[in-house]
Amino acid sequence: MENIITVDNVSKAFTNHVALDDVSLEVPRGKVYGLLGPNGAGKTTLIRIINHITAPDKGRVIFDGHDLTAADIVNIGYLPEERGLYKKMKVGDQALFFARLKGLSKQQAEKSLREWFDKLEISSWWNKKVEELSKGMAQKVQFIVTVLHNPRLLIFDEPFSGFDPINANVLKREILALRDAGATVIFSTHNMASVEELCDNITLINKSHNILTGNVAELRRRFSDNRYELGYEGDEKALVSAITPLVKVIEPIPADRDGISRVRFSLNAPDDSRTVLATANANALIRTFNPLLPSMDEIFIRTVEESNHQTTTPPAI
């Protein structure tokens, strides 16, 4: 089975608004999948449907080759964006409670909890009450109870919020380690830098529609719009005037300390990089030639704004 989750034409409406309108997506096994979108786009509703908390009005969700049922919950670990713990309970008792809800026996749960507590260096908290913990500390406990039962599918909604950079990195490392061990990760965040860093594929949801799906590297190439950056040694004027008929120059960048100047441009005709390179080669010493990839931030903003302008039909992908 190629995909661990297939969302098939799912719709969900509440009293005053449509949360999801005919959304489909496929999450490939063993990858990190980004679920992106502005606030209120319908991400949380979609995650709750995948997690069997709410039922869709229309459409279906296929988990590991069969229709999603309540029994699949033990194979999913979900860390919601808005999360809390029982304040009056001790950390260890509470972690045990959540672990046992996921179907672990008391002994199993205690054993793997101790391992995880050691790994994240929080063993000394076991007998503390939750109300004594800081937000970041509580988040670590929540992370552990989400992953403890070794689920095949992990869903993280803004997992890094509330963490300092050091702990965020620890968490990132653990998430990737879980992926390497075979788990699939669905990752919902507004932090586009971490999307570029972690995600293999993404889906962008806006106003209850899926407006963009694809592989992160491919998408960035596609959204590069034939933009390139050329690094060279030589005369800026000569080079720029030589390539101007073939490209639209975005900006020339003066030479840096190593004497390498840069110029950014977009090709007038796609796949014309050869001619451009040949022309440039005749006028300067070429050092580098790279496609200019847009950040996920740019892609996010551009796609959402475009879709907001033409809200009638989502663009075909």
Q: Residues in the site for another protein, rule: CB under 8 A?
A: 14-15, 48, 51, 53-57, 70, 73, 76-80, 82-89, 97-98, 100-103, 105, 142, 145-146
* Shortest CB 176 distance to another protein, Å: 22
* Shortest CB 105 distance to another protein, Å: 6
* Shortest CB 111 distance to another protein, Å: 15
- Residue number, 127 or 313, with CB nearest to another protein: 127
- Residue number, 70 or 181, with CB nearest to another protein: 70
How far is the CA of 254 from the CAs of 47, 226, 257, in angstroms?
48, 22, 10
- Residue number, 152 or 262, with CB nearest to another protein: 152
Shortest CA distance to 38 belongs to which of 304, 302, 223, 216? 304
SS (H, E, C) the chain: CCEEEEEEEEEEECCCCEEEEEEEEEEECCCEEEEECCCCCCHHHHHHHHCCCCCCCEEEEEECCEECCHHHHHHEEEECCCCCCCCCCEHHHHHHHHHHHCCCCHHHHHHHHHHHHHHCCCHHHCCCEHHHCCHHHHHHHHHHHHHCCCCCEEEEECCCCCCCHHHHHHHHHHHHHHHHCCCEEEEECCCHHHHHHHCCEEEEEECCEEEEEEEHHHHHHHCCCCEEEEEEECCHHHHHHHHCCCEEEEEEECCCCCCCEEEEEEECCCCCHHHHHHHHHHHCEEEEEEECCCCHHHHHHHHHHHHHHCCCCCCCC
Q: Phi and psi at residue 144, in whole multiples of 5°?
A: -60, -45
- Residue number, 97 or 289, with CB nearest to another protein: 97
* Shortest CB 38 distance to another protein, Å: 18
- Residue number, 8 or 57, with CB nearest to another protein: 57
* Shortest CB 240 distance to another protein, Å: 56
* Shortest CB 79 distance to another protein, Å: 8
- Residue number, 85 or 263, with CB nearest to another protein: 85
- Residue number, 142 or 194, with CB nearest to another protein: 142
